A and B are shown apart, each in its own frame.
Chain A
């Protein structure tokens, strides 16, 4: 069966104003809205479109994390994924651990394609897809803004600093999504009801044989430096005068 595996990460919603805890141990997440990482929504949307074009038969979503991540898996099922896999893991799941767990799922499910987000908007690590591709020893096409599937290969247009780069990769491969790949669909209420009946299997890291190991200690979180309050000018001439006085013109 032609399958696509999509990574789903639970993150603080992008609209939330992030505040660092006074003791520096993290950011405030109590009572804060949590969502599917926006790049993962895009990954799922792309997988669903590929399936709708008849190029894949099943879309599986997977997450590695604590029990509350199941909420985001349900959202993904409501969007249209066929089934979900939750790898239960407590504490900080580093990209290497997430990738090792995803690799185990790949070995079981034998997907044609794995689509992840290019970065999670909480840690902004931007590593998991590449780490996974390395562990799997398969191609990676990061920052995708266009994916074209052909027999046994994919043509991926990537958003790189210079512009747009196109790669051809043999399948299976890992692709990570950029913002302009697509616009994710909205979830409709009946789909939320239907999603409750879709299969969601729970596994554990240890059952998969993956060690939960944290290699980087999170020492301290600090708020960013605030910029000094600026001035207001009333017209173009004053603006240029202000720039001249700062030596910028």
Chain B
């Protein structure tokens, strides 16, 4: 049996977000998957060219409209719907972009959505984490009708390049709502690696004590070529911006190395780092729950240890 899979590309105007390549790998787990990527954009050429190179992709569809300058779910959903009919599975990444958009699409279709797919067992059977990752649930759809899914990107490798899928323009003429308008986005631009795709991440918790205190982590991260993350407590206290939050309600990441500094290891935080290959914990409390998941633990005062590590590196 073959399945026709549509993946909604996430991009920043000219650059395809790496989450899309992970969706492709996930989709390849569906037996007999024929994969189409749809790019909604003002001018889709650059992003479509990148999507076409992903190995395993059969076709790239461009839906161009001046209204697509920002990824507004209310504006994109009707355009994706306009081309969605032939597809059995409609997937997007489980990023804030995908979570916002895909469920709106599911709502319009009246279709079930499987959120945070971490493994595919068949065209109708999927595994996903529930209860902040404290349980893994296998769900099964009837196989009738369409299915929407968001892909837990930390569970899949990015698809390789080297493909050359044909790129087509889709003529979509649907009325787009004007009830939702983009105003602004404030993103702290930094030269550090992106938290969601970084191979190394150094994260700080409440123990850092201030935004000033966080600077010792930035210095360490820069030496390691790492991204910087934070616990919710650190973000709530204003030591770090929200986009740095790691956990159940922040970012779910899977770096090769995760260094948790002054983070107690609340279950909501651990959910975000379950797939990290190696977890290092630095905490002055030897009983802190973070040590239960740490591959390498070091008990002590971070304000002594971090500068010491920096000196030795």
Contacts and interface: CB of A to CB of B under 8 A. Distances in A.
B280 A133 contact: no
Interface stretch (B24-32, B49-57, B155-163, B179-187): B179-187
Contacts of A20: 134-135
Contacts of A218: 137-139
A221 B107 contact: no
A166 B104 contact: no
A135 to B, nearest CB: 5
Contact of B134 (A140, A170, A224): A224
A68 interface: no
Nearest to B113: A127
Nearest to B121: A219
Given A145-B242, A179-B236, A230-B297, A134 B77 contact: yes
Interface stretch (A57-65, A198-206, A234-242): A234-242
Contact of A233 (B104, B132, B298): B298
Interface in B253-299: 256-257, 267-268, 274, 278-280, 291, 293-299
Interface size class of B (residues with CB under 8 A): 35 or more
A139 to B, nearest CB: 4
Interface size class of A (residues with CB under 8 A): 35 or more
B125 interface: yes
Contact of B113 (A95, A173, A236): A95
Given A99-B107, A160-B185, A220 B137 contact: yes
A96 B111 CA distance: 8
Contacts of B139: 216-219
A233 B73 contact: no
A124 B142 CA distance: 22
B104 A239 contact: no
B119 to A, nearest CB: 11
A188 interface: no
Contacts of B104: 130-131, 133-134, 140
B124 to A, nearest CB: 9
A124 B179 contact: no
A126 interface: yes
Interface of B: 72-74, 77, 95-97, 99-108, 110-116, 125, 129-142, 177, 179-188, 196, 232, 235-236, 241-243, 248-249, 251, 256-257, 267-268, 274, 278-280, 291, 293-300, 305, 308-309, 312-313
30 contacts: A19-B134, A27-B131, A118-B249, A119-B249, A121-B132, A121-B248, A122-B130, A124-B130, A124-B248, A127-B113, A130-B73, A134-B108, A135-B108, A163-B185, A163-B241, A164-B242, A179-B236, A216-B139, A217-B142, A219-B138, A224-B274, A227-B295, A230-B294, A230-B296, A231-B296, A233-B296, A233-B297, A235-B308, A242-B296, A246-B278
Closest 6 A/B residue pairs (Cβ): A134-B107, A130-B103, A131-B107, A163-B187, A215-B112, A18-B134
